[in-house]
């Protein structure tokens, strides 16, 4: 009898009524404590704040749904949300395509594969602030990129002062900083696809594109759902990188929703209003996630 078979037998020996007692709960306890203290309780308190006028210092004043009513009339809020959606629509597919391409490349039997994997993964280990500042040095109007362009006799490009280039810079920096993280997830997904399928396809004479479309993509569906969902949530929560890179400018061109909420709460000292905005964002992200999960049937089949 093989080791695997004996292990299965051991597991099967446990009767359904045989409980493990409170041991599993103890394993969950540390994370549950941390999650409750730092996520659940602040979320509930934020929800309570959203019905008040509150500056963080002086006594709160209950205002009912006034904050929510004001949000629906606030064109700047919806403008910032629209810009965030535009950013997500461009950034998420870009991250998806680039990280999948790199992952497919780096599961091939290449020389120095480990080194290349490290190079792509390295940016994910740097704080967003540093990533933002680094790209600011590159794309700044007096930055490295314009210096290099000037060496070739080209006119400087106003990467940070021009709305189009500022948005482009933000996308490039985002993809660069997140690519490694999603690459790792894709590599795990790709390596989980049985090699037999590819061998069978090769024997049948399928082209590489056909193999990709008929085997790789369908079998990567659970990974794809995970990546798209994580990247989309990331995009809607994006703030430190953008703040360090463009400061939300020029004007408010790259002021996305989280920065707008932050400014409402901490610059304008309207914590109640900012909390209500956070609740709206929370609901939107939940809706997105639920919808996406439903459409993809949770990544099954």
User: Looking at 50-58, 119-127, 197-205, 286-294, which segment touches other proteins (CB under 8 A)?
Assistant: 50-58
Q: Which of 81, 84, 176, 270 binds other proteins (CB under 8 A)?
A: 270
Q: Does 78 bind other proteins (CB under 8 A)?
A: no
Which 83-112 residues touch other proteins, going by CB under 8 A?
Answer: none
Q: Compare residues 22 and 152 and give the one whose CB is closer to other proteins.
A: 22
User: Which member of 255, 256, 275, 281 binds other proteins (CB under 8 A)?
Assistant: 255
Q: Beta-carbon neighbour count of residue 25 at 10 Å? A: 10
Q: Is 251 in the site for other proteins (CB under 8 A)?
A: yes
Beta bridge partners of 74: none
Which residue's entry shows tokens 């990331």?
Answer: 234
Cα 62 to the chain's mean position, in Å? Answer: 35
The answer to whether residues 248 and 76 touch, using CB atoms and an 8 Å cutoff, is no
How far, in Å, are 1, 26, 29, 35, 177 from residue 32 at the CA level? Answer: 41, 10, 5, 5, 30
Binding mask 164-203 for other proteins (x = CB under 8 A): --x-------------------------------------
159 binds other proteins (CB under 8 A): yes
Which residue, 26 or 112, is less far from other proteins as judged by CB? 26
Count of residues engaged in binding other proteins, rule: CB under 8 A: 37
Of 73 and 294, nearer to other proteins (C-beta) is 73
Residue 58 sits in the site that holds other proteins (CB under 8 A):
yes
Residue 51 CA from chain centroid, whole number: 29
Instruction: Compare residues 221 and 252 and give the one whose CB is closer to other proteins.
Output: 252
Q: Which is nearer to other proteins, 246 or 275 (CB)?
A: 246
Where does the chain have alpha helices with state H? 3-12, 23-35, 41-49, 66-73, 75-106, 113-121, 128-139, 144-151, 163-191, 195-203, 208-211, 217-219, 221-236, 240-245, 257-262, 271-295
Using DSSP's 3-state secondary structure scheme, residue 45 falls into helix
Integer Cα distance of 176 and 64 in angstroms: 43
Six token digits for residue 160: 């940070």
Q: How far apart are CA 283 and CA 140, in angstroms?
A: 36
Q: Is 258 exposed, middle or buried (0-12, 13-18, 19+ CB in 10 A)?
A: buried
Nearer to other proteins, 225 or 276 (CB): 276
Q: Which of 8, 29, 125, 217 binds other proteins (CB under 8 A)?
A: 29
55 binds other proteins (CB under 8 A): yes
Residue 11 interacting with other proteins (CB under 8 A): no
Q: Which is nearer to other proteins, 64 or 205 (CB)?
A: 64
List the one residue from 15, 142, 152, 196 that touches other proteins (CB under 8 A).
Answer: 142
Among 46, 79, 240, 249, which residue sits at the site for other proteins (rule: CB under 8 A)? 249
Q: How far is CA 205 from the centre of its chain?
A: 38
> Which residues lie near other proteins (CB under 8 A)?
20-21, 23, 26-27, 29-30, 33, 55-58, 136, 140-142, 158-163, 166, 246-252, 255, 263, 266-270
């Amino acid at each position: 009898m093989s080791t695997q078979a004996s292990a299965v037998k051991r597991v099967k020996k446990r009767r359904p009524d045989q409980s493990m007692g409170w041991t599993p709960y103890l394993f969950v306890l540390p994370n549950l404590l941390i999650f409750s203290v730092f996520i659940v309780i602040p979320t509930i308190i934020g929800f309570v704040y959203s019905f008040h006028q509150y500056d963080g210092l002086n006594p709160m004043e209950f205002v009912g749904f006034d904050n929510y009513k004001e949000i629906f009339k606030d064109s700047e809020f919806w403008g910032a949300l629209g810009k965030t959606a535009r950013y997500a629509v461009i950034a998420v597919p870009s991250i998806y395509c680039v990280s999948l391409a790199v992952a497919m490349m780096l599961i091939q039997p290449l020389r120095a594969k480990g080194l290349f994997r490290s190079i792509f993964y390295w940016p994910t280990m740097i704080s967003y602030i540093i990533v933002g500042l680094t790209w600011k040095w590159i794309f700044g109007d007096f930055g490295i990129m314009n210096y290099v362009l000037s060496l070739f006799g080209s006119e400087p490009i106003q990467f940070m002062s021009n709305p189009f280039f500022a948005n482009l810079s933000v996308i490039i920096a985002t993809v660069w900083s997140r690519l490694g993280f999603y690459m790792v997830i894709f590599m795990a997904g790709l390596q989980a696809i049985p090699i037999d399928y590819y061998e069978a396809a090769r024997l049948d004479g399928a082209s590489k594109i056909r193999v990709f479309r008929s085997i790789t993509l369908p079998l990567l569906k659970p990974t794809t759902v995970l990546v798209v969902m994580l990247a989309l949530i990331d995009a809607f929560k994006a703030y430190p990188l953008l703040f360090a890179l463009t400061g939300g400018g020029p004007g408010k061109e790259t002021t996305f929703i989280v920065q707008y909420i932050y400014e409402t709460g901490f610059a304008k000292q309207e914590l109640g209003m900012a909390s209500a905005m956070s609740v709206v964002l929370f609901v939107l992200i939940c809706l997105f996630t639920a919808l996406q999960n439903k459409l993809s049937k949770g990544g099954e089949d």
